[in-house]
Amino acid sequence: MIEFNEFSFRYREGAEPVVRDITLSIPDGCFVGITGAAGSGKSTLTYAINGIIPHCYPGDFYGSVTVEGCDTVDTSLTDLSRLVGSVCQDIDSQMVSTVVEDEILYGLENFAVPREEIPARVDEALASMGIADLRDRTIDSLSGGQKQKVAVASVLALHPKVLVLDEPTAELDPASSVTVFDLLARYAREHGTTVVVVEQKIALLSDYADMLVIVDEGRIRFADTPDAVLAHSEELLALGVNVPRSTTLMNALSAQGLYAGPTVRNVAGAAAALKEVLA
């Protein structure tokens, strides 16, 4: 369980808090998508989960954030990193090794995982992202998309309870983005891992997330199922948050009195609804 309790944070150099009065409970095993306009405070929320705030970025911290019952202020960054695995937005800043296998080994060795467990963990992590064939490749020979998969695999190898990812598919083509989300969702289901993803690709989030969190100017405006959140698509667009084109289509039909059903959030839903409209 991740719990934000009236959490506000102002970076030391900032004039105003970047997030304010955040109260949110994320149950174990939940797949959470966080989105919002640039500068809305999305990444700050993830920093509060993995402890980068306040341990690396000092500032005024109000309220509390707990992960698995551990207060992120009182728990050391080392101990938090055993609970929370993080994948940065800038993948190159995360890579420390020259070869893919070494990148996976780096975290395992630093966390003192028993030697006999390591080979199986490496195999499992590579397989979970579908990159077993990249094991011996040098990092600098990989495409942006391949690097993103390596970064995720190196974190999954540590078996974190919580996985925090900041725009993990930014450099991926649509098919690979779907693959990564498929793999993340499957991994989360099989291991009971809580996944928190910051992402601009709303169509992808709507399809995979159990909970969609919309952040605007440091405050949570919506935190609910994708269907419930997308029912407010006019407000989302006003906040600078896109909605899936399928949702826009069905809303436009609704505005013309041609559709009166529930909110649609993907292609399959739109096609099914239109078959009924045209029947």
Q: Interface with another protein includes 94 (CB under 8 A)?
A: no
Which of these, 134, 123, 52, lies nearest to 97 by C-alpha position? 134
DSSP three-state, residue 177: helix
Q: Looking at 17, 33, 36, 51, which residue binds another protein (CB under 8 A)?
A: 36
Q: Interface with another protein includes 228 (CB under 8 A)?
A: no
Q: Looking at 46, 193, 194, 246, which residue binds another protein (CB under 8 A)?
A: 246
Q: Give 135-149 as a DSSP string.
A: TTSBGGGS-HHHHHH
Question: Helix, strand, coil proportions of the chain in percent (round to 5)?
Answer: 45, 25, 30
Q: Interface with another protein includes 120 (CB under 8 A)?
A: no
- CB closer to another protein, 70 vs 249: 249
- CB closer to another protein, 161 vs 265: 265
Q: Interface with another protein includes 206 (CB under 8 A)?
A: no
Q: Looking at 39, 119, 261, 262, which residue binds another protein (CB under 8 A)?
A: 39
Helix (H) or strand (E) holding 183: helix 174-191
* Torsion 181-46-6-8 (CA) sign: negative
User: How many angstroms separate the CA atoms of 113 and 159, rounded?
Assistant: 11
Strand boundaries in the chain, DSSP class E: 2-11, 19-26, 31-36, 59-67, 70-71, 84-87, 162-166, 194-198, 211-216, 219-224
Q: Looking at 14, 27, 58, 144, which residue binds another protein (CB under 8 A)?
A: 144
Q: Looking at 66, 72, 81, 146, which residue binds another protein (CB under 8 A)?
A: 146
Minimum distance, C-beta of residue 86 to another protein, in the bound complex (Å): 18
List of residues contacting another protein (CB under 8 A): 36-39, 89, 143-146, 167, 170-178, 200, 203, 234, 237, 240-246, 248-249, 252-253, 256-258, 266-267, 270-271, 274-275, 277-278
